[in-house]
Amino acid sequence: MELPINATEPRIMHIDLNSCFATLEQQASPHSRGKPLVVAAYDSPGGCVVAPSIEAKRYGIKTGMSVRDAKILYPGVIVRTPSPVMYRDAHLKFKKIFQDYTPIVVPKSIDEAILDFSVINTEVLFKKSLIDIAYEIKKRIRQEIGEWVSCNVGIGTNRFLAKTAAGLHKPDGLDVINYKNLESTYNSLTLIDLCGINTRFQARLNAYGIYTPLQFLHAPLQVLKKQVFQSICGYYWFLRIRGWEIDELEFSRKSYGQSYALGKKSADPKYLGSLLMKLTEKMGRRLRKAGKTARGIHIGCSYTDGSYWHKGKLFDKEMFTSEELYKKVMLVFNKQPEIKVVGKLAISCFDLADARIIQESLFETDEDKKREVSKAMDKLNDRYGEYTVIPALMYGREREVIDRIAFGGVKDLQDLYAG
């Protein structure tokens, strides 16, 4: 099968804020600008770096290493703990900027998004080309979010090429990949540079004589489908690398979850139970805000000895209130084979369904009343602040579970927009 490179005009834009979380910290603290800075889960030596600044990266500091190792590479590195409220505020601001140019904005994480201009003729509507729009967006980000904040912009005929283009010249780059420069662009990259190609896929490609992106582009469909990937995935890659769009599908949420790394490691069932209540309340509020119920509960525990245990269970009855969820959370949690010191807790609810609308009637059940009470509590907490009204078991633990951003994830953004 011969399929030409997509020669249509590129109409997909990928925008990625440069070292977003670290840069936003520098924006908020001018004295830290131009200096190596990291955002870490904790500022203790064992804290994990979740976002190094552009300057920190130049010293080899990377996401995932410990604060201790970062300080070995650069002793004077500035360490900040996450500021989720600031990051979410920035996300909403740059999303608003994007929506001034196209109604089709797809956030991929809190610091990157796809803008689809396939339904917009920018030359007619704005009297500007897509490249002009990209420069204008970069300028507005500096004006409306912060002069220290920059972004990379990539433009392509599909999401894959737009993201590839956005990664070509960091930081603060702007690149276009089209049918004219596709081969020369691939010739300057390695297989690992391609989004979605990990070392396992690289090894598969190498096994069939494909060592470069250019060889990947020219590989026959049957080789990719029948030999390399041995699935329909080979056909998808055949289309993707030629600039044809096959990544538009958006999958609905399958679960709601919360996790927490304990500052104070513990095996105390009472203490862990109160933390689980806090996590359950956070999870339950998100579930209810989305108008969903759940029938499944999953619990995961990471222990300080390096081991891990997890268990999921599906129940007959739909859960909606935090009380209903918590009872099942503890039922699953108590299935641990042995008591160990816990370092991290994770809970989630799954098998979601739309919550039925409760109609006022003379025959309102106790379950209906409990759901109405839960919704009323959620409204109070939304209006007056997180945990203004709390279950008794949570008393004293209101500040125990720190607010976190799911770096690289998109699901909690759905909750942000719903709010």
- Do residue 209 and residue 308 come from a single domain? no
Provide the pLDDT for residue 121: 82
Which of 117, 150, 177 finishes a domain?
177
> Is the pLDDT confidence value at 394 over 90?
no
pLDDT band at 355 (very low <50, low <70, confident <90, very high): confident
Closest Cα partner for 91 from 417, 333, 329?
417
Under the phi-then-psi rule, with left for phi > 0, alpha for psi from -120 to 50, and beta for the rest, what region is 387?
left
Q: Taking all residues of the chain, what is their mean pLDDT, rounded to a whole number?
A: 86
Sheet holding 151-156, edge to edge: 104-109, 112-116, 12-17, 151-156, 174-176
Provide the pLDDT for residue 364: 47
Which of 233, 250, 267 finishes a domain?
250
- Do residue 347 and residue 375 come from a single domain? yes
List the CATH number of the domain containing 292.
3.30.1490.100
- Do residue 112 and residue 156 come from a single domain? yes
Measured between alpha carbons, how far is 275 from 399 in angstroms, rounded to an integer?
10
pLDDT tens track for 177-232: 999 999 999 999 999 999 999 898 999 999 999 999 999 999 999 999 999 998 89
Torsion angle, alpha carbons of 218, 222, 224, 227, to 10: -130
Stated length of the chain: 419
- Do residue 354 and residue 329 come from a single domain? yes
pLDDT tens track for 19-69: 999 999 999 999 999 999 999 988 999 999 999 999 999 999 999 899 999
Q: Does 278 map to a domain?
A: yes
Measured between alpha carbons, how far is 248 from 354 in angstroms, rounded to an integer?
25
Which of 250, 277, 296 finishes a domain?
250
* 76 contacts 32 by C-beta, under 8 angstroms: no
Provide the pLDDT for residue 378: 58
- Do residue 292 and residue 387 come from a single domain? yes
pLDDT tens track for 89-115: 999 999 999 999 998 899 988 899 999
Q: What is the mean pLDDT of residues 333-350?
A: 92
pLDDT tens track for 2-24: 789 999 999 999 999 999 999 99
Cis peptide before 52 (omega within 30 of 0): no
Q: Does 106 map to a domain?
A: yes
Q: Does 4 map to a domain?
A: no
Which pTM does this prediction carry? 0.70
Choose between 396 and 209: higher pLDDT. 209
Provide the pLDDT for residue 374: 61
- Do residue 105 and residue 119 come from a single domain? yes
Q: Does 119 map to a domain?
A: yes
Please report where in the chains the tokens 């095996």 appear, as a residue: 267
Q: Does 43 map to a domain?
A: yes
Task: Tell me how crowded residue 142 is: count the other CB atoms within 10 A of its CB.
Answer: 15
- Do residue 164 and residue 232 come from a single domain? no
What does each C-alpha distance from 112 to 63, 95, 140 come to in angstroms? Answer: 17, 9, 16
Provide the pLDDT for residue 360: 41
Q: Does 44 map to a domain?
A: yes
- Long-range residue pairs from 227-236, CB within 8 A, at least 24 positions apart, any chain: 228/204, 229/201, 229/204
Closest Cα partner for 287 from 333, 335, 334, 323?
323
Q: What is the mean pLDDT of residues 394-400?
A: 51
> Is the pLDDT confidence value at 79 over 70?
yes
Q: How many domains does the chain have?
A: 3
- Do residue 24 and residue 38 come from a single domain? yes
- Do residue 172 and residue 185 come from a single domain? no
- Do residue 286 and residue 408 come from a single domain? yes
Q: Does 186 map to a domain?
A: yes
List the CATH number of the domain containing 41.
3.30.70.270
pLDDT band at 258 (very low <50, low <70, confident <90, very high): confident
Please report where in the chains the tokens 């004293």 appear, as a residue: 396
Closest Cα partner for 256 from 81, 398, 418?
418
> Which tokens sit at 377?
């509590």
DSSP reduced 3-state for 370: helix
Please report where in the chains the tokens 């203004």 appear, as a residue: 388
- Do residue 202 and residue 286 come from a single domain? no
pLDDT tens track for 287-308: 998 899 999 999 988 899 988 8
Residue 79: give the domain boundaries: 9-177
List the CATH number of the domain containing 229.
1.10.150.20
Provide the pLDDT for residue 361: 40
Task: Tell me how crowded residue 225 is: count the other CB atoms within 10 A of its CB.
Answer: 19
- Do residue 211 and residue 66 come from a single domain? no
Provide the pLDDT for residue 269: 92
